[in-house]
Amino acid sequence: MRSTMKKEREKLALIVSDSAKAQAGADALRDSHPWVSEEEADAIVVLGGDGFLLHVLHQMMDTNTVKPCYGINLGTVGFMLNRNSSSRSIAERVTRAREVEVVPLEMDAITQDGQHHHFYAINEVSLLRETRQSAKLEVAINGKVRMQELAGDGVLVATPAGSTAYNLSANGPILPLGSRLLALTPISPFRPRRWKGAILPESAKVSFRVREPAKRPVAAVADQKEVRDVAEVHIASARDHRLTLLFDAGKTLEERIFAEQFQV
């Protein structure tokens, strides 16, 4: 993770969620800056919620046109976005913003019929049972089997940026940005019942093999992309697809992750 200040962001593009709240916010911004196309832009201003920002980031990765993104919260939680404020012009806010680097995960999910599905995840990759039967998974790290059988609702691998999302709800650890760590967290484990998961280096390659797939089918989900009836799932950090988020000074994602750990 890098957190630096960058000045060369003169050309800005605007991307807006189709929600009524975001569209109303865009009306106030459209005449305040000479916007350019996404192709010409030095940075992208995104109006919406966390889900819409993730959608925009995934689109950029899919088209290999990754650019710094300054998100403005016109959704619900807005954990990865900045506050909707008019105290400064949008150009000044983006110019003064600090960069936070986020390294996504790459998932290779192999289905029971042998097909490979490749997706990226900014928050987490989750394996989830598809039926009332608990999932049974073999867990391997860097090619070595570390757990012969994990039985429960599933398991997930989370990035630091995603460690306060689904991972936290599953009682996983919050990871500071820049820690170069991943959280491996079980979801409602039945056996081993007391296993709380593991913290892994960012360089770790995590693999899961589904046991008894006909009786206990499992789906793999990379952020918002789902693959059903998987046989194996392989996960690694996609360090060649680094993303840059822009935050107002003192309001970075790193600060929000710190604050989350001291809520009572």
Q: Tokens at residue 150, please?
A: 């994990």
Stated length of the chain: 264
Q: Reduced to 3 states, what is the DSSP secondary structure of residue 2?
A: coil
169 known member of a binding site: yes
Q: Which two tokens stand for residue 215?
A: 């009786």
Amino acid code (one letter) for 138: E
Greatest extent of the chain over all pairs of C-alpha atoms, in Å: 60
On whether 126 is known to bind a ligand per the annotation, the reply is no
**Helices (H), ranges, the chain:** 20-29, 50-63, 90-96, 166-169, 253-260
For residue 123, say whether it is annotated as part of any ligand binding site. Answer: yes
Is residue 8 helix, strand or coil? coil
Confirm or deny that 240 is annotated as ligand binding.
Answer: no
Q: Is 108 annotated as a binding residue?
A: no
CB-CB contact of 238 with 69 (8 Å): no
Element (H, E) at 53: helix 50-63
Question: Does residue 51 have a known ligand-binding role?
Answer: yes
Do the annotations mark residue 150 as ligand-binding?
no
Sequence-distant (≥ 6) Cβ neighbours of residue 46 within 8 angstroms: 15, 16, 52, 53, 56, 69, 70, 71, 72, 81
Q: Which of 212, 235, 225 is nearest to 155 (CA)?
A: 235
Q: Is 198 annotated as a binding residue?
A: no
Catalytic: 50?
yes
**Is 167 annotated in some ligand binding site?**
yes
Choice among 31, 50, 113, 240 that is catalytic: 50
Catalytic residue set: 50
Binding residues for NAD(+), by number, are: 50-51, 55, 123-124, 153, 161, 164-169
Binding annotation: 50-51, 55, 123-124, 153, 161, 164-169
